[in-house]
């Protein structure tokens, strides 16, 4: 088991949908990804398909299609084994250190125990991640040097 990349995130479909339709911690989390080129979103097609379907159902086809175009440019595409949980599979395939989800079962002791020895990952709610995210110290570890601040337009 290799050390995960502390600047890589797998974001569950519920968080992706909340980013688009609700805001709050989900939007703040995705704004971190959008604002920093060195913070990477890893996501399988299946994960994006799940989120796109919900956006389509709750909003409309146009918003779902526009979202999919933008998220395709943002994510690092990873392969998923059929039948695996999309966020877990994305984190594993993408060597992500974090999974962000509102799914309580992913943050349970049972899930942590099942993952032990297979994947080293922290599962948090988006608001918890935002609270703990320290771009200056993480930048020094991941990129090296002094943190220059966000390097991308949030809504670009």
Between CA 140 and CA 91 the distance in angstroms is 22
Q: Each residue of 73-111: pLDDT tens digit?
A: 999 999 998 888 899 999 999 999 999 999 988 777 676
pTM of the model: 0.91
Between CA 69 and CA 92 the distance in angstroms is 24
Res 139 pLDDT > 70? yes
DSSP string over 26-61: HHHHHHHHHH-TTSEEEEEHHHHHHHHHHHHHHS-H
Closest Cα to residue 39, out of 118, 116, 154?
Answer: 154
Q: Residue 121's pLDDT is what?
A: 82
Q: Are 54 and 17 in contact (CB under 8 A)?
A: yes
Q: Each residue of 126-135: pLDDT tens digit?
A: 999 999 999 9
Q: Each residue of 3-43: pLDDT tens digit?
A: 899 999 999 999 999 999 999 999 999 999 999 999 999 99
Give the chain's end-to-end CA distance (angstroms, integer). 36
In the chain, the domains with their CATH numbers are 5-142 (3.40.50.1010)
Q: Each residue of 56-79: pLDDT tens digit?
A: 999 999 999 999 999 999 999 999
- For the chain, the C-alpha Rg in angstroms (whole number) is 15
């Amino acid at each position: 088991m290799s050390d995960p990349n502390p600047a890589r995130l797998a974001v569950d479909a519920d968080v992706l949908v909340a980013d688009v339709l609700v805001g709050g911690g989900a939007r703040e989390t995705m704004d971190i990804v959008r604002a920093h080129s060195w913070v990477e979103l890893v996501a399988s097609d299946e994960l994006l398909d799940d989120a796109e379907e919900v956006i389509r159902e709750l909003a409309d086809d146009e918003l779902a299609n526009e979202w999919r175009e933008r998220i395709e440019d943002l994510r690092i595409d990873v392969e998923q084994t059929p039948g695996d949980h999309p966020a877990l599979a994305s984190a594993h395939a993408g060597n992500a250190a974090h999974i962000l989800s509102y799914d309580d079962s992913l943050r349970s002791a049972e899930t942590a125990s099942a993952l032990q020895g297979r994947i080293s990952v922290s599962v948090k709610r988006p608001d918890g991640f935002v609270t703990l995210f320290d771009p200056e110290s993480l930048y020094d570890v991941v990129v090296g040097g002094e943190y220059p601040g966000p390097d991308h337009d949030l809504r670009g």
